[in-house]
């Protein structure tokens, strides 16, 4: 920082150091660009600090606790199993620190400068950064990548304070609640509900739609709902939270559930009804950058906005708000700035919901494929017939392949069950490379393994269902 507000000339600037921004910055540096990152709070963004990583750490701790309590059928009995919540939170913080420190180290390795503060665009070639001490500095730039991510939506009458928390606050509750209300049954709300149910909370989900996890197919969600039932999780659909009262000990929620007013009491309330892009209040209009009615930034196949030297990636552009999508787009934008003939041309974007019985999808569903005019078939194999799943005592769910009837080319896949988040990558690669059901069936998988369910599903598609 220099004394006074004299413009400083920069080459490539990335606003935001989350999984889109830091990947874009590192790849741009790898390609020979001189890169500067502007970050409001923490290296790693929401994903590494208060989202993807800490939530999965909490989910894993909860899952292990539950397995400790329920291994009697295997002849294992642990007496007086308990949770040291402070230690769990400390371990979660260590996981976050390890990853964020790693990103900071990569920035140093690639000679990437970091400026902490809020960035405000002045025009298409300059911006101003205001730091935590309200000191301002103007910077000129050649190219800009906007990777500012998103934030939780705050609904009327439910301010994030006290015992009403967003997904960030949910990861650091001072104690495990006996009673927990989750407003919103999307993937974030469902993941948190599953984690706290495993930790011993009685969880109630209030979902405004006809079912939880509305972005996933019904038969996938049914498996998750069945597991929730086994955890004694109460799910109310067509439920709209109206108001909340709280004191030092509890929250009282008034909600309309199927047209009837009900009052629910809990220790804490998590509000998780979606996220909104961080595009407002940063001066996009001053730079002439167009924004649509959803506050998203329209971009071309290289991530370029209507202003040729300004790019946007991740949650601020159309498409699923996924960390790996942002990282992919970050690489493409960095390559575009370097003049490479690159575009966002993926055929399959994997998505995962890390509930205790997890869901993973990639490519097209049957319905989506048919809407595109494709004549498709599906092939499905249950984990109940998979040897490794049986040894893991995790037999709920199935693997499904969606493929073109005439050619057998894979166009989509859905998995609900053990290790779904890991299995889906193989099927994403198969779709990206134009593999057929026969290609998958002829690929030898180790035995016994969860991944054999993929081969078995392919065998079903070929008409030779060996294992069922």
Q: How many C-beta neighbours within 10 Å does residue 55 have?
A: 21
Q: How far is CA 402 from CA 26, 205, 357, 430, in A?
A: 36, 31, 21, 12
**For residue range 167-205, what is the model confidence (pLDDT) as tens digits?**
999 999 999 999 999 999 999 999 999 999 999 999 999
Fold type of domain 164-273: FAD/NAD(P)-binding domain (3.50.50)
Residue 81's pLDDT is 85
Distance (Å, rounded) from C-alpha 407 to C-alpha 392?
A: 36
**For residue range 331-381, what is the model confidence (pLDDT) as tens digits?**
999 999 999 999 999 999 999 999 999 999 999 999 999 999 999 999 999
Under a CB-based contact definition with an 8 Å cutoff, are residues 403 and 380 in contact? Answer: no
Q: Which residue has the tokens 């665009």?
A: 121
Q: Which residues are annotated as a binding site for FAD?
A: 56, 148-150, 315
Q: Average pLDDT, stretch 152-165?
A: 95
**For residue range 84-94, what is the model confidence (pLDDT) as tens digits?**
999 999 999 99
Distance (Å, rounded) from C-alpha 311 to C-alpha 124?
A: 11
Residue 183's pLDDT is 98
Just give the CATH number of 8-151+276-337: 3.50.50.60
CATH of 351-462, one of 3.90.320.10, 3.30.565.10, 3.30.390.30, 3.40.50.2300: 3.30.390.30
Q: What is the bridge-based pairing of β-strands 359-363 and 410-416?
A: antiparallel
The answer to whether 8-151+276-337 and 164-273 have equal CATH topology is yes
Q: Which residues are annotated as a binding site for NAD(+)?
A: 184-191, 207, 274
Q: How far is CA 192 from CA 51, 57, 225, 269, in A?
A: 11, 11, 14, 11
The mean pLDDT value of the chain amounts to: 96
Q: Average pLDDT, stretch 225-246?
A: 97
Q: How far is CA 24 from CA 31, 37, 45, 193, in A?
A: 11, 10, 13, 33
Q: Active-site residues: which are they?
A: 447
Residue 58's pLDDT is 96
Q: Average pLDDT, stretch 16-36?
A: 98
Nearest alpha carbon to residue 220 among 427, 416, 454: 416
What pLDDT band is residue 4 in, cutting at 50, 70 and 90? low
Report domain extents, the chain.
Answer: 8-151+276-337, 164-273, 351-462
What predicted TM-score, i.e. pTM, was given to this entire model?
Answer: 0.95
Residue 3's pLDDT is 44
What pLDDT band is residue 79 in, cutting at 50, 70 and 90? confident
Distance (Å, rounded) from C-alpha 289 to C-alpha 233?
A: 45
Distance (Å, rounded) from C-alpha 80 to C-alpha 62?
A: 16
Residue 1's pLDDT is 40
Residue 6's pLDDT is 72
Query: For residue 138, which phi and psi values (nearest 5 degrees)?
Result: -95, 140
């Amino acid at each position: 920082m220099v004394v006074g507000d004299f413009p400083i000339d920069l080459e490539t600037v990335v606003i935001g150091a989350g999984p889109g921004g830091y990947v874009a910055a590192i790849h741009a540096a790898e390609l020979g660009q001189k890169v500067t990152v502007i970050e409001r709070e923490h290296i790693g963004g929401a994903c590494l600090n208060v989202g993807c990583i800490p939530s999965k750490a909490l989910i894993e701790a909860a899952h292990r606790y539950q397995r400790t309590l329920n291994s009697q059928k295997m002849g294992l009995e642990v007496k007086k199993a308990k949770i040291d919540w402070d230690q769990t939170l400390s371990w979660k913080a260590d996981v976050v620190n390890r990853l964020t420190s790693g990103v900071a180290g990569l920035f140093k390795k690639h000679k990437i400068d970091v400026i902490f503060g809020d960035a405000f665009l002045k025009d298409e070639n300059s911006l101003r950064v205001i730091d935590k001490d309200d000191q301002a500095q103007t910077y000129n730039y050649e190219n800009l990548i906007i990777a500012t991510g998103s934030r939780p939506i705050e609904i009327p009458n439910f301010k994030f304070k006290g015992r009403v928390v967003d997904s960030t606050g949910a990861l650091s509750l001072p104690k495990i609640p006996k009673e927990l209300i989750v407003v919103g049954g999307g993937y974030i709300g469902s993941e948190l509900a599953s984690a706290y149910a495993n930790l011993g909370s009685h969880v109630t989900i209030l979902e405004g739609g006809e079912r939880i996890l509305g972005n996933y197919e019904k038969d996938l969600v049914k498996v998750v709902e069945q597991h929730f039932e086994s955890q004694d999780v109460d799910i109310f659909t067509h439920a709209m939270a109206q108001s909340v009262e709280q004191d030092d000990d509890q929250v009282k929620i008034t909600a309309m559930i199927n047209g009837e007013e009900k009052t629910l009491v809990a220790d804490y309330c998590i509000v998780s009804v979606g996220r909104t892009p961080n595009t407002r209040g940063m001066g996009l209009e001053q730079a002439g950058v167009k924004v649509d009615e959803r506050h998203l930034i329209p971009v071309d196949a290289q991530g370029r906005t209507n202003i040729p030297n300004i790019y946007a990636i991740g949650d601020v552009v159309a498409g699923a708000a996924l960390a790996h999508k942002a990282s992919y787009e970050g690489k493409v934008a960095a390559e575009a700035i370097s003049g490479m003939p690159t575009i966002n041309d993926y055929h399959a974007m994997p998505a995962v919901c890390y509930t205790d019985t997890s869901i993973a999808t990639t490519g097209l569903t049957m319905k989506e494929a048919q809407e595109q005019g494709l004549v498709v078939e599906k092939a499905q194999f249950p984990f109940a017939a998979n040897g490794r799943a049986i040894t893991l005592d995790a037999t709920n769910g199935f693997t499904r392949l969606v493929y073109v009837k005439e050619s057998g080319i894979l166009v989509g896949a859905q998995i609900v069950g053990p290790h779904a988040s890991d299995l889906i990558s193989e099927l994403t690669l198969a779709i990206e490379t134009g593999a057929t059901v026969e290609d998958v069936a002829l690929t030898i998988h180790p035995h016994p393994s969860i991944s054999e369910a993929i081969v078995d599903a392919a065998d079903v598609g070929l008409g030779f269902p060996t294992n069922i």
